[in-house]
A = this chain, B = another copy of it.
């Protein structure tokens, strides 16, 4: 059955990427080996690794004074790695705009004087705080650029103004819209939403911020370790990096992040416009702060929400159940979700509304 997968992550990969990976799975380009089993020191893998690093630099227009690292452990591991590497003065401010932002702030408290400078918890994280003031002498401000569970995102209006590096968790929006990397001290992202299968984390860090890790920082969590070794200090997740490279090539062929952003804006507008025009479905996020990637919505009752999720799955619209912190539904419409997927969802929503009004 044709399925549209609205999972918040891991999530859809482009069809042509999957087909190419399948074709080459047992014998990669005549090497006689699968990428899943080749030495990370082989010439075959070296090309894959170097090309993937180079393509993400190109796609995100990463300035030369930034390192790009391929690491493991997901954003959750970066919640520790960031303070372990960046807390030189021992102080940092966090803006808490959701569940993962809160986890990042909580982990940082272990390593220094890290506080919550602002939070949108008062309205169940349905907005992004504006004009936040920060303490003097802090090492960085940490934000979560897109909030997967609550469906909000930062825009130019809410981007923090601070006299220190900005650290951003871009897990659920990396490569979905243009970003000026030079405005950030450090960017990190789990790959399993817009880039690759789970098991790879991207870190983009300004070189002057590398090399100040605490003495008890695990070697594998030190940015310097990974930067000095071109992310080959130990065996990297080779196959996942290979898949990331295929996605990068696909995105480049499509016209890069600029084109991708147009498609994402179009998809999101289709869905939000429909929800806003309906008296049956509701999205409670402040319109100016709405995510392009994750669209939470509810039907008029818990019973109808449960029925919606069940019937949607039968109709091939899978993993659309909302997170338990929000309830209802959530349509994650990452880069690989085709326009047709969003249109199918809207058609289903209309039909469900008619049948259940």
Q: Which of A5, A8, A11, A220 has the most chain B CB within a 10 Å cutoff?
A: A220
Is A263 part of the binding interface, using a Cβ–Cβ cutoff of 8 Å? Answer: no
A305 CB, nearest partner CB in chain B, Å: 17
> Of B21, B26, B76, which one neighbours A220 at CB under 8 angstroms?
B76
CB–CB B192/A235 < 8 A: yes
Known contacts A25-B25, A84-B218; is A239 also within 8 Å of B38 by CB? no
Known contacts A25-B25, A33-B318, A36-B10; is A218 also within 8 Å of B219 by CB? no
CB–CB B33/A198 < 8 A: no
Complex copy number for this chain? 2
Bound together, the chains give a CA A220 to CA B201 distance in angstroms of 14
Bound together, the chains give a CA A75 to CA B220 distance in angstroms of 10
CB–CB A76/B233 < 8 A: yes
Closest B residue by C-beta to A334: B37
Contacting B at CB under 8 A, from A5-55, are: 5, 7-13, 18-19, 21-22, 25-26, 30-42
Known contacts A39-B319, A81-B218; is A34 also within 8 Å of B13 by CB? yes
Bound together, the chains give a CA A349 to CA B219 distance in angstroms of 40
CB–CB B10/A218 < 8 A: no
CB–CB A219/B33 < 8 A: no
Report the interface size class on chain A.
35 or more
Residues of chain B lying within 8 A (CB to CB) of residue A11: 37, 39
Q: Which of A10, A81, A200, A243 has the most chain B CB within a 10 Å cutoff?
A: A10
Q: Which of A107, A235, A240 has the most chain B CB within a 10 Å cutoff?
A: A235
A36 CB, nearest partner CB in chain B, Å: 4
Residues of chain B lying within 8 A (CB to CB) of residue A110: 215-216
Is A238 part of the binding interface, using a Cβ–Cβ cutoff of 8 Å? Answer: yes
Is A275 part of the binding interface, using a Cβ–Cβ cutoff of 8 Å? Answer: no
Known contacts A5-B37, A8-B39, A9-B39; is A220 also within 8 Å of B18 by CB? no
Contacting B at CB under 8 A, from A231-264, are: 233-240, 243
Is A73 part of the binding interface, using a Cβ–Cβ cutoff of 8 Å? Answer: yes
Bound together, the chains give a CA A73 to CA B233 distance in angstroms of 11
CB–CB A239/B197 < 8 A: yes
Residue-by-residue, is A191-221 near B (CB-CB < 8 Å gives 1, otherwise 0)?
0100011111000000000000001101111
Residues of chain B lying within 8 A (CB to CB) of residue A25: 18, 21-22, 25
Known contacts A72-B72, A73-B73; is A238 also within 8 Å of B198 by CB? yes
Is A2 part of the binding interface, using a Cβ–Cβ cutoff of 8 Å? Answer: yes
| 21 A-B pairs (CB sep. < 8 Å) | A3-B31, A5-B37, A5-B38, A9-B39, A9-B235, A10-B39, A13-B34, A13-B36, A22-B26, A37-B197, A40-B198, A72-B73, A73-B73, A73-B77, A76-B219, A76-B233, A76-B234, A198-B238, A198-B239, A239-B239, A240-B240
A residues bordering B, Cβ < 8 Å? 1-3, 5, 7-13, 18-19, 21-22, 25-26, 30-42, 72-77, 79-81, 84, 107, 110-111, 190, 192, 196-200, 215-216, 218-221, 233-240, 243, 316, 318-319, 336
